[in-house]
Amino acid sequence: MPLEITKIAPDTLDSLQDKLLKRSPNNYTEYEETVHGIVDRVKKDGDKALFEMTKQFDGADIDAGNIRVTEDEIQEAYRQVDTKVVEVIRRALVNIRSYHEKQKRNSWFDYSESGTILGQKITPMEKVGVYVPGGKAAYPSSVLMNIVPAKVAGVSRIVMTTPPGKDGKVNPGTLVAANEAGADEIYKVGGAQAIAALAFGTESVPKVDKIVGPGNIFVALAKKSVYGFVSIDSIAGPSEILVIADETANPHYVAADLLSQAEHDQLACSILVTTSEKLAQDVNKEIEGYLKVLSRKDIIEKSLENYGHALIAPDMDKAVEIANTIAPEHLEIVTANPFEVMTRIKNAGAIFIGEYSSEPLGDYYAGPNHILPTNGTARFFSPLGVDDFVKKSSIIYYSRQALERDKDDIMAFAQAESLTAHANSIRVRFDEER
């Protein structure tokens, strides 16, 4: 059967979690030495390393004269992309921008009559790097999701990198999406070498403050390697979907939604958690029908073979518990009372409610970001958003009178920690002899 149907037992979740976590980039340690070598080479040799590795890995002749995408190349991309697709990109941008504008925060200051001013200053990052995969993994939708929240946050310089084809050109859909979203400059470089270039800077590629965007295992490990020199969004793993459904769900829809993630790659994970064994069996029948007509059949079959599961829960409470334990990237709720179930969900990247809120809505169009926590990290990470592109600074002002009121408490705290210089910096301000 396409999905392995399992009734929940005490050890079911533990074994499933262990299986899912093996897909994490943190487990691909055999590639780390190679990635470190690439990063160090770019850090040392700059452009020279970039150009040589672009020739080696992408087969493209890139140099200082053509590494940056020109306005002419962007206009050529518009001529290659169907005008209907351009219009769809623009309509999606309206939704994505509108959603993220609601996330914006303002600086605030709290004035007290006792002589204090406390507050928080919000400052956008100055330069952000956006990595965009190339080749078969070219996703213009991810370009929008990475650039728009940075633009809304007020980032002044957005630097995008993406690998070129052998002809030295960039995927036209990627270029159109980047231009529409507001990328300031685009460079033809991919892989771990692009991450290193953004982290340390080269003669052509500027150093940035933060790097965001999806990529293969080499890109993920490179982001892990440079973290600390720059900020990153996350170490993203393969895509995943979990559907909570009861006997009222339409198996035709549920099967379609599970397959929407299975087609990403062979490591993608599709899980059905249901209180109805009959629904699980009906979903499997629907999957078999879909596999006869879907173009990425081979990938889907491998994905379902490795990570396709239908878990039978005794009741909805247990189904919710399972979802919160797995903490999926995408969670669909297709039950008689989906909003009531939603209130009990604690861990999920994005929650889709009801049978007409299919996961691809979030991938492309609704507005919320589709850059989401994977591999159970929704327990402590959130979707990419405006907050990821700003810094917060604390503001503290005390008048002499305000400090005099609190000085004894502060000095007592410092003395308790044996930090006498801390206490002294308060005391000297009230040393009448001085």
For 28-63, the pLDDT digits (tens) are 678 889 999 999 999 999 999 999 999 999 999 999
348 has pLDDT over 90:
yes
**100, 385 Cβ separation under 8 angstroms:** yes
Beta-carbon contacts of 244 under 8 Å, excluding residues fewer than 6 positions away, are 273, 274, 316, 319, 320, 323, 331, 332, 333, 334, 335, 341
Tell me which residue of 208, 252, 218 sits closest to 134, measured CA to CA. 218
Of residues 217 and 68, the one with the higher pLDDT is 68
Distance of alpha carbon 59 from alpha carbon 72, whole angstroms: 22
DSSP assignments along 189-244, one per residue: --HHHHHHHHHH--SSSPP-SEEE----HHHHHHHHHHBTTBEES------EEEEE
**162, 191 Cβ separation under 8 angstroms:** no
433 has pLDDT over 60:
no
Write down how long the chain is.
Answer: 434
3-state secondary structure of 341: helix
12 has pLDDT over 80:
no
Out of 130-139, 304-313, 365-374, 401-410, pick the least confident. 130-139
What was the pLDDT predicted at 5?
82
- Over residues 88-113, the pLDDT tens digits come to 999 999 999 999 999 999 999 999 99
Compute the average pLDDT of residues 215-222. Answer: 90
What was the pLDDT predicted at 434?
55
264 has pLDDT over 80:
yes
Positions marked catalytic = 329-330
With a pLDDT cut of 90, the percent of the chain lying above it is 80
Compute the average pLDDT of residues 417-428. Answer: 96
Compute the average pLDDT of residues 280-296. Answer: 92
Distance of alpha carbon 427 from alpha carbon 423, whole angstroms: 6
Mean pLDDT of all residues belonging to the chain: 93
10 has pLDDT over 90:
no
Compute the average pLDDT of residues 255-275. Answer: 91
For residue 308, the cross-strand partners are: 270
Compute the average pLDDT of residues 79-87. Answer: 96
Amino acid at position 171, single letter: N
Out of 148-162, 165-179, 291-305, 397-411, pick the least confident. 291-305
Tokens 């308060």 sit at which residue? 426
Compute the average pLDDT of residues 389-406. Answer: 96
Compute the average pLDDT of residues 226-232. Answer: 96
280 has pLDDT over 60:
yes
Of residues 292 and 188, the one with the higher pLDDT is 188
- Over residues 198-212, the pLDDT tens digits come to 999 999 999 999 999
- Over residues 127-175, the pLDDT tens digits come to 999 999 986 667 899 999 999 999 999 999 999 999 999 999 999 999 9
What was the pLDDT predicted at 268?
87
Confidence of residue 25 (pLDDT cuts 50, 70, 90): low
Out of 242-251, 257-266, 277-286, 389-398, pick the least confident. 257-266
- Over residues 380-397, the pLDDT tens digits come to 999 999 999 999 999 999
Compute the average pLDDT of residues 367-386. Answer: 94
